[in-house]
Amino acid sequence: MPGFIHLNSDDNIVVTTRTVSANEKMQVGNAEITCSQDVKIGHKIATEAIAIGTPVRKFGQVIGYASSEIKVGDWVHSHNLQNGNIVLQHEKACVIPDVLRNEAALSFKGYRRANDKIGTRNYIAVISTVNCSATVSKFVARHFSAERLAAYPNVDGVIALTHETGCGMKHQGTKHQMLNRVMGGFAKHANVGAYLIIGLGCEQATPGTLMIDQNLVQIGGQNQNETPVFSMQDLGGTKKTINAAIQRVEELLPIANDIQRTEAPLSEIILGTECGGSDGNSGVTANPALGITSDLIVAHGGTSILAETSEIYGAEHLLTRRARTPAVADKLLELIEWWKWYVGIFGEELDNNPSIGNKEGGLTTITEKSLGAIAKAGSTTLEAVYDYAEPVTTKGMVIMDSPGFDPPSVTGMVAGGANVVCFTTGRGSCFGCKPVPTIKIASNTPMYERMVDDMDINAGKILDGETVENVGREILDEIILVAGGKKTKSELNGFGDEEFLPWTVGPVL
């Protein structure tokens, strides 16, 4: 292996594809470069001298400015590179790609619901309206062990959707509305065959408001005559509520078990894309490969969601250019401005986003991280921009507002309707999210081999010469299998019960 990849002819750095040793020589174009020190995989090495204040380029884009003199062959990282004030030109709807629909028809076996939505899993959800009922909800879900569910082979499990909030907020305020969108989105999700709601009884996020706001009128694919709400105060405490809820789940199990998988077109896939524990090669291998997958899903009439607005910042100009309309571009730019204001009121900035692990893996600035992250969105038209946990109804590539922290970001996409999640990682995230399967994609081979029990696909082989296109199609093949029932590594390991984490904005009163 040459030890590096030069991503764009305009770049003044290369990215290492393995650990490069001090004094090792590299041929970059017509120049021979000698590495000045040991540099780990995924990090950057200067291909030319870079003066203080001069732009550093990766992907053909500015990722920051030199904060000290950088010599040819030097390691380029946080000690000599800072984000700075990058001025972007936000062109709008000026390059709208054609959507190619010449792929052969593909399908998977999913669960068709009464509203014609297609699920990839079949769960019963116990939804807690407030943290005060979280423990009771968990007791109910834990009652239904694998042994107890053996008689219901079409039911994937009983899950408790619990969280830290639900009260101490303005009724119908922003925080309340965001929480209701999440809870309602999960209750109505195509992967949920039946649900019930457990509250304390005096919380601000009342079950009644949730039922009305989110139009929760179906359960098990049938109209329900009885509201599936359990109030701990009305029922006489924890034990009585647990017993009543368990009895209700027992009644729901045969209803949920009745459904069978049937053939569904790939256009019914709503793909949630996420990157977590990213490294310097995430934007070189796993994310671009997932971008190919996103394009293929869009070509088949499906939907791909890009989220993590705080990890779009610095790269948003590449998305506004291919927005369907100027209004779509403006919605994204409004979100970027809101995020800049939001972090500013806490005395922070968006460049605080890259984590210690991101930096250990080779990422330096938020712009560098974002430019790699948006590769998950592929190359098709940006059709719409959604608020957090808003129902996604548009086909094609869309954006959902969310934070960069993985659990709330994925929670929002699932609430919006994502029925499969693809999660790229360079450092090795061990993520799962019931009721939706999560396919984890490694950006480099050493991590994939080290964490093979948690990784589903190795995109690191791109660094060994495999094409991005081939890995993208491999991911699509895996999506079809997983959507049809194949268990992901996180599912086999039993993960996904604790990652339900609604993002809400506003004070705790």
- DSSP code per residue over 87-109: ------S---------SPP-EEE
- More confident: 222 or 179: 179
**What is the pTM (predicted TM-score) of this model?**
0.96
Share of the chain above pLDDT 70, in %: 96
Q: Stretch 249-270: mean pLDDT, rounded? A: 96
Both tokens assigned to 134: 């979280």
The yes-or-no verdict on residue 224 having pLDDT over 50 is no
pLDDT of residue 216: 82
Taking residue 6's Cβ as centre, other Cβ atoms within 10 Å add up to: 15
Q: What is the pLDDT of residues 272-287, one digit of tens each?
A: 999 999 999 999 999 9
Q: What is the pLDDT of residues 120-171, one digit of tens each?
A: 999 999 999 999 999 999 999 999 999 999 999 999 999 999 999 999 999 9
Mean predicted lDDT score pLDDT of the chain: 94
pLDDT of residue 343: 96
- Strand pairing partners for 396? 303
Residue 152 phi/psi, 5° resolution? -125, 75
Both tokens assigned to 131: 């943290």
Q: Is the peptide bond before 407 cis (omega within 30 degrees of 0)?
A: no
Q: Cα(first)–Cα(last) distance of the chain, in Å?
A: 58
The single-letter DSSP state of residue 133 is G
Amino acid at residue number 360: E
DSSP result, 436-497: B-EEEEESSHHHHHHTTTT-SEEGGGGGGT--HHHHHHHHHHHHHHHHTTPPPHHHHTT--S
The yes-or-no verdict on residue 221 having pLDDT over 70 is no
- Dist CA 199 CA 132 (whole Å): 7
Q: Stretch 228-248: mean pLDDT, rounded? A: 96
Question: Do 4 and 26 meet the contact criterion of CB atoms below 8 Å apart?
Answer: yes
pLDDT of residue 463: 95
- Dist CA 231 CA 213 (whole Å): 19
Q: What is the pLDDT of residues 367-379, one digit of tens each?
A: 999 999 999 999 9
- Strand pairing partners for 157? 123
Share of the chain above pLDDT 90, in %: 91
Both tokens assigned to 198: 């457990």
pLDDT of residue 64: 96
- Strand pairing partners for 125? 159, 195
Length of the chain, please?
A: 509
Q: How confident is the model at residue 208 (pLDDT cuts 50, 70, 90)?
A: confident
Question: Do 306 and 467 meet the contact criterion of CB atoms below 8 Å apart?
Answer: no
Q: What is the pLDDT of residues 7-27, one digit of tens each?
A: 999 999 999 999 999 999 999
Q: What is the pLDDT of residues 418-477, one digit of tens each?
A: 999 999 999 999 999 999 999 999 999 999 999 999 999 999 999 999 999 999 999 999
pLDDT of residue 105: 82
The yes-or-no verdict on residue 92 having pLDDT over 60 is yes
The yes-or-no verdict on residue 398 having pLDDT over 50 is yes
pLDDT of residue 8: 95
pLDDT of residue 214: 87
Residue 385 phi/psi, 5° resolution? -125, 125
Q: How confident is the model at residue 305 (pLDDT cuts 50, 70, 90)?
A: very high
pLDDT of residue 226: 60
The yes-or-no verdict on residue 104 having pLDDT over 90 is no
